[in-house]
A = this chain, B = another copy of it.
Amino acid sequence: MIAKEDDLEVTAVECTPGEVTLTWHDSFYSVYSALWLRDNDPVHRDARTGQRLISLVDLPQQPRLRAAEPQPPGHLTVSWEDGKTSVFALSWLRAYDRSLRIGSRPTRMPWMGQPATAFARCDYAEWMENPASREDWLYYAGRDGLAFLGNVSVENRAVMRVAERIGFIRETNHGGVFDVPSVTDRALPVRTGDPYRDPVPGFQLLHCLSASGEGSESIFVDGMAVAERLRAHDIDVFNLLCQTPILFRFQDAEVDLVAERAMLELDTQGQFRTIYYNDRSIAPLPLKGPRLKKFYAAYGQLARLLHETERSVVCRLQPGDLVLIDNTRVLHGHGASTGVRHLQGCYVDADGLYSSLAVLSRSRRSRHDGHAH
């Protein structure tokens, strides 16, 4: 803690009506604009949840600063031309300037085919008991989109106990836990789960309860790596797949689930966000003539890349094995087999998983800070 407090010493404070500049002990400096400071005055935040208690419309549109002083110790006090005063913790100001991206998720790393042992794998008992192991495992699950647990009890619905530790279970028309058809003689090509749902489930858990005879091989492919390969080598195909909405559909006696979306989805900054690909549920393409022809060519190119064997991670799930799949990027399927196996599955959403990771990191940091005293 001493080192940290040293860092937080301020050697100079400059104040104009529009901004405050702080020069830190280590010669770095930070600039804070007046409206940003006014908007983030800690008196307007709920202490327990960090929720803001005012609206931007309640603030002056151009608040003007009068003065800023580095006191009381560890704090900055600013006074405003309208007579108000705000007090900020220097640690908070410094943290915001250093890392504007709070609570960031692990950066997702693309991968090619490799042994399944290259991915995170943890023993179930260790994972349940040791928060540090769980934190690491969740970090790698976020980074790679694929992680394994071993020695999970082979009881019915044991997958729920794991899911509840990770996040919030997504209820669907199959309930919270679903059984994966056990007849595996026919291969099932890789796909993402349930693209006809809106929103699409973020992560899928699959738990192997039993496997007899020559169990089939599970296959995993990184759809993000395929998307980036298309972007690098054939930008027109990539753009077409990002910009052409198609329909995914599943219907039976109880439901008629339809979602319209492009096969590839980017965020506002053009970064890969999601792949939606499932041979089974792609509805007849709603296109005609030359547009249909061009789209079929692009779709075929994507499909062939997804099926390239050098992209596959292959493994035979044993009873007690559990796999977690990032359903926004990793496709899964299985090979043909003569055996019978019983898997149970469950969906959890992204927010819960990344919240668990953040809370585990927070607890570890506060334990470490405690030890340092």
Contact = CB atoms under 8 A, between A and B. Distances in A.
A72 interface: no
Given A55-B303, A254-B359, A284-B96, A349 B168 contact: no
Contacts of A362: 256
A282 B57 CA distance: 14
A63 to B, nearest CB: 11
Given A101-B286, A249-B102, A355 B189 contact: no
Given A55-B189, A280-B52, A362-B256, A247 B351 contact: no
A170 interface: yes
A3 interface: no
Interface in A156-173: 168-173
A229 interface: no
Contacts of A296: 35-36, 39, 56
Interface string A168-180: 1111110000000
Contacts of A257: 351, 355
A112 interface: no
Given A96-B284, A198-B351, 6 more contacts: A49-B251, A52-B280, A102-B286, A199-B350, A255-B352, A256-B355
13 contacts: A35-B292, A48-B252, A49-B250, A55-B303, A55-B307, A102-B247, A103-B258, A168-B173, A197-B349, A197-B351, A242-B268, A255-B355, A255-B359
> Ordered nearest first, which 4 A-B pairs have the shortest CB separation?
A199-B199, A103-B258, A100-B286, A256-B358
